[in-house]
Structure 1
Amino acid sequence: MKGADAEDRAAAYLLGLGREVLARNYRIPGGEIDLITCDSGGTLIFTEVRQRRQTRYGSAAESVTPRKLALMHRAALEYLTRELGRDDLPCRLEVLTIDGPAQTGEIQLLDVLE
């Protein structure tokens, strides 16, 4: 599966931050959330994982388009309503980037501002 190594490393990194992984690869028609985690304060975090081995076509962060963010937002709302029965829980979107090889590249967490 493409991106599985990067997602595995991202999940391990987020666990190291004290988060609990609730779901991986949550899919709805037209959208997906790579990782859904919960921090110690009870905030749900919806994470898109992006990895670029080389920067020839830009960084991993530059690969996240406004369309991808909109689809991510839609999938997060669907998760909240379908899986948890409400959409008023504390949550946020973020992008975890890995620039370089999946196992050794530099990790950066970026909050998505809407």
Structure 2
Amino acid sequence: MSTPSSRRRPRPNSAAIGAAKERLAEAFLIERGLTPLARNYRCRGGEIDLVMRDAQTLVFVEVRYRRSAQFGTAAATVDARKQQRLIQAAQQYLQQHPTALACRFDVVAIDGQDRIEWIRQAFML
């Protein structure tokens, strides 16, 4: 006899969910004219989810997902500490990939119903 908990489908792990939400965010941004350059750029200082080009601007994108806003929105999780890690990672990216393009940091916040909030120039360097 199976118990109710044994009949539940296993929930995807957070890495799989994160990867799916990053693909969703990337598709959303591509539909709006951005061009993908890199995905999951990792370095000693941190990670940048997406690096994209928006006309003459290089865009470093942080994708955040929250199933529920009970403890705050997805966008609210990009606090000062996270911003500093993103800035460090972006600086390392720029050392490896020099460019004359202007740069900005965007946040794509996704909620439990896959509603997307795109915050352009979410914070400054």
Mark yes or no: TM-score above 0.5.
Answer: yes
Determine whether 1:113 maps to 2:123: yes
CA RMSD of aligned residues (A): 1.4
TM-score, structure 2 normalization = 0.80
Q: Where does structure 2 lack aligned partners over 5 or more consecutive residues?
A: 1-14
Q: 1:76 aligns to what?
A: 90
- The structure showing larger relative contact order (alpha-carbon pairs under 8 Å, at least 6 residues apart) is 1
Matched residues in 2 for 1:89 and 1:80: separation?
Answer: 10
Deviations 1:70-93 (A, max 9, x none): 1101111111111x235x531100
| 2:108 counterpart residue number | 96
Provide the rounded CA distance (Å) in 1 between the counterparts of 2:76 and 2:123. 15
The alignment covers a number of residue pairs equal to 108
How far off its partner does 1:63 sit?
1.2
Any conservation in 1 of the 2:42–2:48 contact (CA below 8 Å)? yes
| Runs of at least 5 residues in structure 1 that lack an aligned partner in the other structure | none
Alpha-carbon distance in 2 for matches of 1:89, 1:11: 20
Task: Tell me the CA shift for residue 18 of structure 1.
Answer: 0.9
**8 Å contact from structure 2 (residues 60, 106) kept in 1:** yes
Write the deviation string for residues 6-62 of structure 1: whole angstroms up to 9, x where unpaired: 0010010011011110000001113100000001x2211000000101112211011
**Structure 1 residue matching 2:91: 3-state secondary structure:** helix
Instruction: Show structure 1 runs of 4+ deviating over 3 A.
Output: none
Q: Find the counterpart in structure 1 of residue 47 from structure 2.
A: 32
Q: Which has the larger radius of gyration?
A: 2
The one-letter code matched in structure 1 to 2:45 is G
Aligned match of 1:43: 57
